[in-house]
């Protein structure tokens, strides 16, 4: 059974380099698209992603995305494609800033 999922996730976590970003959680939007040769449980993925971000307290979005791709591939060996974008919507008043990673396996 092939699986193609899309997730839009919102949560708060510690992420960033600046002093205030290391103290107080900020809102994060994460968009994930994945394709796999096996079923992907989007509910479990959402829980896992949020737990990872809360535990790791990443300093950069880019490092968080690299880590997340490795973790998803490790737990879902049949994954063929991952595209993840992470935004920090409240860091700059009039901008939506973030980063994207795409992996094909």
Report pTM.
0.93
Beta-bridged to residue 10, according to DSSP, are 29
> What domain count does the chain have?
1
Range of the domain at 95: 3-104
Q: Which whole-number Å values give the CA distances from 86 to 1, 2, 76, in the listed order?
A: 28, 25, 21
Q: What is the pLDDT of residues 10-56, one digit of tens each?
A: 999 999 999 999 999 999 999 999 999 999 999 999 999 999 999 99
List the CATH number of the domain containing 90.
3.30.1130.10
Q: What is the pLDDT of residues 48-103, one digit of tens each?
A: 999 999 999 999 999 999 999 999 999 999 999 999 999 999 999 999 999 999 99
């Amino acid at each position: 059974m092939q699986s193609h999922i899309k997730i839009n996730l919102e949560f708060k976590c510690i992420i960033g380099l600046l002093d205030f970003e290391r103290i107080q959680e900020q809102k994060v939007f994460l968009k994930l698209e994945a394709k796999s040769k096996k079923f992907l449980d989007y509910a479990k993925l959402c829980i896992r992603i949020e737990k990872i971000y809360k535990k790791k307290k990443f300093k950069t979005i880019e490092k968080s995305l690299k880590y997340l791709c490795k973790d998803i591939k490790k737990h879902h060996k049949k994954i063929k494609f991952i595209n993840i974008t992470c935004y920090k919507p409240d860091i700059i008043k009039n901008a939506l800033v973030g980063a994207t990673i795409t992996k094909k396996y």
